[in-house]
Chains A and B, each alone.
Chain A
Amino acid sequence: MADEEKCKQCHGCKKPARWREDFPVQWEKDEYVTRREMVKFLSLGSLLIAGANLIAAAVPRFQSRGEFPRVRIASSHQIAADGSLLFRYPTDEDPCLLVRNRKGELVGYSQVCTHLSCAIVHRPEENTLFCPCHHGYFSVEEGRPTAGPPTRSLPRIKLEQTGDDIFAVGIGI
């Protein structure tokens, strides 16, 4: 090791090399982390994580609420029993699915799977919403995951019907 390097001018003497006198850093000791230092480091990390948690708690309070547009998406007669229709809401980059369930009610969901964001499809013969990427299943009635890897429900699109026209008015959980 470098620490054991001996003086080269007088062989045999136990003095450290000359350059060591100018740079008296003990590298091995320098790299050694004591438990005290580790506790201090972890406490600082704890402070940073607590701060990040506070920011995470504040984020939903600053997110926009109730500012979804009211968009006409279809006419009621366009969707037959057990039928479905694709639409985009609230922006053109948010694909959604309008489904008439077996009770005859219209329900809207985001088409983005809550597992890894693949597009889900309606399977009327099984009365489910199916994600073909990893075989995730969601219930048509509530959007809850019923099988496969997804654990979270599909975001639900709030709908309103005025006469024959169906409007998307917001997004719920």
Chain B
Amino acid sequence: MNRQQQGTTLFTALLALVGVGVVVQLWLLSASVDAIFRHDAATPLHAAIGSAVLFLVNGALLLYLFAFDERVRRR
């Protein structure tokens, strides 16, 4: 497998990971709204923590993407 093919696989996997993270975040958001309507204060807090962690993971993947591009440009 050459470098370009590796890059293609890598970015497809990265896109899939970020996409799954966003879907899980949407699920957490809907669970939070549902909890608010039944006057449950604990669930939205836990969902917010989970969502923040997922955002950090997505952000880290995005930073990795920028760093990867920068490395390729320098070569």
Contact = CB atoms under 8 A, between A and B. Distances in A.
Interface stretch (A20-28, A53-61, A83-91, A97-105): A53-61
Contacts of B59: 43, 46-47
7 contacts: A35-B14, A42-B22, A52-B29, A53-B48, A57-B47, A60-B39, A155-B39
Interface string A61-97: 1010000000000000000000000000000000000
Nearest to B11: A35
A43 B28 CA distance: 16
A43 B32 contact: no
A49 B51 contact: yes
A38 B15 CA distance: 7
Contact of B48 (A54, A152, A153): A54
Contact of B25 (A38, A50, A171): A50
B27 to A, nearest CB: 10
B45 A57 contact: yes
Interface of B: 11-12, 14-15, 18-19, 21-22, 25-26, 28-29, 32-33, 36, 38-41, 44-45, 47-48, 51-52, 54-55, 58-59, 61-62, 65, 69
Contacts of A53: 25, 28-29, 32, 44, 47-48, 51-52
B51 A50 contact: yes
A159 B12 CA distance: 58
Interface string A108-148: 00000010000000000000000000000000000000000
Contacts of B45: 57
Contacts of A173: 38-40
Contacts of A54: 48, 51-52
A46 B21 contact: yes
A149 interface: no
Nearest to A38: B15
Contacts of B44: 53, 56-57, 59-60
